[in-house]
Amino acid sequence: MEPFKAFRIFGDNDKVAGRVVDMTLNELTAGEVVFRTVCSSVNYKDALAATGTGGRIIRTYPRIGGIDATGTVVSSADPRFKAGDEVICTSYEFGVGHDGGYSQVCRVPAEWVVPLPRGLTLYEAGALGVAGYTAGLAMELLELNGMAPGNGNVLVNGATGGVATLAIDMLARLGYRVVAVTGKDGEHDFLRKLGAAEVVSRHKLEMGGRPLEKAMWAAAFDSVGGEQLAWLTRTMRQDGLIASFGNAGGVEFKTTVLPFILRGVRLIGVNSGDTPMPLRRKIWNRLASDLKPRHLDEIAHVIALEELPGYFDKMLKAQTRGRAVVKLG
Ligand SMILES: NC(=O)c1ccc[n+]([C@@H]2O[C@H](COP(=O)([O-])OP(=O)(O)OC[C@H]3O[C@@H](n4cnc5c(N)ncnc54)[C@H](OP(=O)(O)O)[C@@H]3O)[C@@H](O)[C@H]2O)c1
């Protein structure tokens, strides 16, 4: 196979940075399935990993970044896949302990590979990526705990982010009344277009400080953590459900047991990285059907491999919107 381009991350003298390099197949980490990449994307974890921000996510360098990718199989030493199959690879060690999706060719263990479900193109699956998968998994877990459209408002914070924009679109499609919280005052119309019924400025939130504040939300999708998650616990309605998957605003939060023991609030952790394969396939099938976002074209835009460093910087400053898709094929 001819050499190909990849965005490889180097950690030299405590400085972590990536650049586009030429690579060959035998330089990639081992795996049974080789595929030509069509799309990867930028997730918050990619920005942290490629810049070494907030502690090292990548432990051994150099490493090709990118925690998700879609593409077409070139060869497979595992009988479950054959040349020409269209596939998705996300999570596990992809882009962290194993070379990732910012590469025109990927080589991965067969047990990480999901066949592209009918109803999605490789571009659409790439635009969803880990963010869409996480929004879908959060939806599934909250539904299992009783979330239903008639129960009341669903809050989505960090609303212009990748996971959040997709969650808003999916929730609105299913008939939920969504209240979006954003720090970007210029994006309220965009969020309404995706399906938010109300948009609240993060800068104008009255958080209060009592253990229990006015009960407002039947469910919440939390990208932010920190103070916003603490505030959510205080403002959930009876039996309210919080999906906690993000830390864009901090990893620590302080609350009391009162929301849990007096209002029956349930804090539900969402980890997209290690979902067992049957559930993973179920979520991807839902992303191709009842959860398929209606505004993917407005949420996602394409960037080139060379643009990644600038995009990571913007993402870490909360200056991005929706999803950036890295087109490789
Ligand atoms: N658990 C999992 O498996 C999993 C999977 C995927 C992602 N995540 C996590 O989920 C979060 C969102 O990921 P993403 O890829 O959607 O990232 P993203 O596109 O950067 O979205 C994060 C959003 O959070 C808001 N935000 C950023 N900094 C903030 C701050 N200091 N205080 C309050 N709000 C802030 C911004 O939205 P506004 O400007 O609109 O407020 C930003 O757009 C990240 O923490 C990521 O690590 C976890």
> Tokens representing 150?
């008639």
Q: What is the pLDDT of residue 37?
A: 98
Residue 26, pLDDT > 80, answer yes
pLDDT band, very low/low/confident/very high, at 56 (cuts 50, 70, 90):
confident
Taking the C-alpha atoms of residue 281 and residue 272, their distance in angstroms, rounded to an integer, is: 12
Name the CA radius of gyration of the chain, rounded: 20
The size of the chain, in residues, is 329
> Which atom of ligand 1 is closest in space to residue 180's alpha carbon?
40
* Mean pLDDT, residues 156-185 taken together: 98
Q: What is the pLDDT of residue 103?
A: 98
Q: What is the pLDDT of residue 127?
A: 98
* Cβ neighbour number for residue 148 with a 10 Å cutoff: 13
Best of 40, 204, 223 for a ligand 1 pocket test (most atoms within 8 Å of beta carbon): 223
The half-sphere exposure of 11 on its side-chain side, counting CA atoms within 13 A, is 18
3-state secondary structure (DSSP) of residue 60: coil
One-letter amino acid at 309 equals: P
Q: What is the pLDDT of residue 13?
A: 73
Ligand 1 first shell, C-beta below 6 A: 43-45, 130-131, 134, 158-164, 182-184, 202, 223-224, 245-249, 270-273, 315, 318, 320
> Tokens representing 176?
């939920």
pLDDT digits (tens, 9 = 90+) for 271-311: 999 999 999 999 999 999 999 999 999 999 999 999 999 99
pLDDT digits (tens, 9 = 90+) for 251-271: 999 999 999 999 999 999 999
Taking the C-alpha atoms of residue 139 and residue 156, their distance in angstroms, rounded to an integer, is: 12
pLDDT band, very low/low/confident/very high, at 224 (cuts 50, 70, 90):
very high
pLDDT band, very low/low/confident/very high, at 54 (cuts 50, 70, 90):
confident
Question: Is the Cβ–Cβ distance between 133 and 162 less than 8 Å?
Answer: no
Best of 40, 163, 274 for a ligand 1 pocket test (most atoms within 8 Å of beta carbon): 163
Which of 9, 112, 18 lies closest to 68 in space, CA to CA? Answer: 112
Best of 139, 224, 251 for a ligand 1 pocket test (most atoms within 8 Å of beta carbon): 224
Q: What is the pLDDT of residue 14?
A: 78
Any idea which residue has 């060719």 for tokens? 105
